[in-house]
Structure 1
Amino acid sequence: MLTAIHPKLPMRNKTTTLNFYLHLGFTIFGSADYEDYLMLERDSIQIHFFLFSELNPSENYGQVYIRTHDIDGLHQSFFERNVAIHPNGNLQTKPWGQREFSILDPDNNLLTFGQSLYNS
């Protein structure tokens, strides 16, 4: 019965978060503009953000795993946009059958992108 999930991540500054994710190819979802809330989408996923202005990024453990059918193309598109890849998250094949890489957003939310090697 479940059809989708939309993770909610903390953000310290709505404009900073919006600009970062627009650079990744996301767009604003919906027509309402909420002062302390942001909804973004890309392809068939959404990520929501709530204002947490006191957030200490070094203490933020927000994480999202996003699946794709074209990990190499996505990685290349981020490379072309000069998106910083996490130092410990370079594109690589993992022993658990995933090819993946990771980035950090301005609030230290970890986004890991992965593609299954078995169900591509």
Structure 2
Amino acid sequence: MLTHIHPKLPMRDKLVTQEYYMNILGFQNVGMTDYEGYLMLKKDEVEIHFFEFKELDIKENYGQIYLRTNNIEELYDELLKQNVQIHPNAPLQIKPWGQKEFSLLDPDCNLLTFGQSI
């Protein structure tokens, strides 16, 4: 039986990715060992893994994940207060499919979309 999913996204620089997700988005490092070229981060019940891809062309990165939340407005406001750059084409808005969503790009142009059912 399937119980969890931990998406893996590319990263060019482990320290930059770790800094962004931990200090800006509030994730914690869950790796008991510091693996070269690999990073495991968690916030609340969400865990994301990253693999090193130094040659990643961010203009051609299609990495993306959808993260569900139960208080999207609080999360959005918190990120705005921290001056986190929200994707210019994806501010907080209600979508035709019944979700309230917003998106941002991490330092490697992985698209993170946050959503809550309305």
When normalised by structure 2's length, the TM-score is: 0.97
Alignment of 1:75-90 (within 5 A): 75-90=76-91
Partner AA of 2:12 in structure 1: R
Equivalents in 1 of 2:45, 2:107: separation in Å?
A: 23
Displacement of 1:30 in angstroms is 2.7
Displacement of 1:80 in angstroms is 1.2
Between the aligned residues of both structures, percent identity stands at 61
RMSD: 0.6
- The CA deviation string for residues 38-66 of structure 1, in whole angstroms up to 9 with x for no partner, is 00000001000000000000000000000
Count of residue pairs the alignment pairs up: 117
Alignment of 1:1-120 (within 5 A): 1-22=1-22, 23-117=24-118
When normalised by structure 1's length, the TM-score is: 0.96
CA contact (8 A) 2:64 2:111 kept: yes
CA contact (8 A) 2:91 2:102 kept: yes
Q: Structure 1: which 5+ runs fail to align?
A: none
Displacement of 1:35 in angstroms is 1.1
- The CA deviation string for residues 7-28 of structure 1, in whole angstroms up to 9 with x for no partner, is 0000000000000001101010
SS in 2 for 1:102: strand
SS in 1 for 2:26: coil
**Runs of 4+, deviation exceeding 6 Å:** none
